[in-house]
Amino acid sequence: MNITLQELTKRFPARGRKAKGETTAVDSLSFTIPDGMLVGLLGPSGCGKSTTLNMICGLETPTSGHIFFGEEDVTALPPELRGVGMVFQNYALYPHLTVMQNILFPLENLKGKARPTREQMRDRALEAARLVQIEDLLDRRPKELSGGQQQRVAIARALVKMPRVLLLDEPLSNLDARLRLQTREEICKIQKKTGITTLFVTHDQEEAMSISDRIVVMKEGVLMQQGAPQQVYDDPANLFVAKFLGTPPINVFEGEVKGGMLTLAGQKVLPVPGAPDRRVWAGVRPEGFVPAADGALTCELSRVEVLGRDVSIVCAHPACPAGTLRAILRSEHEVDPAAKQVSFALRPEKTFLFDRETEVRIPFAVPAPAGD
């Protein structure tokens, strides 16, 4: 079942007594979550992603716009009738109940015909527990569990009512680094096993990129871009998305396009056929630099950091407002650490141009790779 958001807008009354008017948390947001997919809703904190999640699960009512689960408009539906399972950032496990009681809790809320018998409830709870591998912990209380185990209990509690949609709010942020890696694979596995349409919210782009089938990037309540992680990374729609995705982050230069050539601080560095003449931001991914004696981009070498598999070159360039830029090279492309300067050629498919004012991507024709 697809989930479709249509022109979804949420405004809050402004906080504070003096400030009048409203703040817009989510602004005409439209996107579709395809059936059975794991989608990451990504953005910096305060970008409206949690508000979006709350609107989908029904805890917040949108100011305008619609939410569809499949064909059904659920905009006005209270949360319990939507069939959503939600995992909260701090898990919200009831501390006075055992794991089993926590998982049973949603089922015990059901009324009338929908209410299963005690036996059925137990079976379903056990099934959910088995799915997330916590069958041994059913009699414990939440505070006796590790963070990762609590996370699984929360997922089991969300899954036990067989929701149409699973929503996870920052599912990994309360875990330590090692557990985070393990848990994100766990989530991915559970999602694949159940095939349930899942949306999770995160501010960590690496997390989103690594497990999502699709990502949706938001900024200040506005949709920036959506698509498969690799596609968004390779083809960012604007400077924000380009900067937000990727570690180490993309290098941004102040540049200008003149007669089909990208010019950085007077150096003509890359032919960009088809791009109109104007002032631009030029973004180059760290892996977009190729050291070459006759490279067009000459930088001042600051230091070389050997990272094992890769080498990270930190240098300075006058067109780079951040001061330093970082290139990631394979070890074989050795750069002489003692050298004062280093020259690079740029890979056109790793270089993106954005309008200086609107920060919107300016396409240019990437030439077919040269004969080598």
Task: Decide: 236 and 266 in contact? Cβ < 8 Å.
Answer: no
Task: Decide: 142 and 150 in contact? Cβ < 8 Å.
Answer: yes
| Residue number, 27 or 60, with CB nearest to other proteins | 60
Residue 156, CA distances (Å) to 48, 84, 195, 242, 349 in order = 27, 13, 15, 36, 43
Q: How far is the CB of 86 from other proteins (least distance, A)?
A: 5
CA distance 363 to 320: 21
| Residue number, 141 or 356, with CB nearest to other proteins | 141
CA distance 56 to 50: 10
| Residue number, 33 or 241, with CB nearest to other proteins | 33
Q: How far is the CB of 49 from other proteins (least distance, A)?
A: 16
Amino acid, single-letter form, for residue 135: E
Q: How far is the CB of 177 from other proteins (least distance, A)?
A: 24
Residue ranges with strand state E in 106-250: 165-169, 197-202, 214-219, 222-227
Q: How far is the CB of 54 from other proteins (least distance, A)?
A: 8
In degrees rounded to 5, what are phi and psi of residue 197?
A: -65, 125
| Residue number, 167 or 242, with CB nearest to other proteins | 167
| Residue number, 56 or 131, with CB nearest to other proteins | 56
Residue 318: is the preceding peptide bond cis (ω within 30°)? no
Is 156 in a helix, a strand, or coil?
Answer: helix
Q: How far is the CB of 141 from other proteins (least distance, A)?
A: 12
Task: Decide: 283 and 239 in contact? Cβ < 8 Å.
Answer: yes
What residues line the site for other proteins (CB under 8 A)?
57-59, 72-74, 76-81, 84-86, 88-90, 92, 94-97, 105-106, 108-110, 161
Q: How far is the CB of 176 from other proteins (least distance, A)?
A: 21
| Residue number, 142 or 288, with CB nearest to other proteins | 142
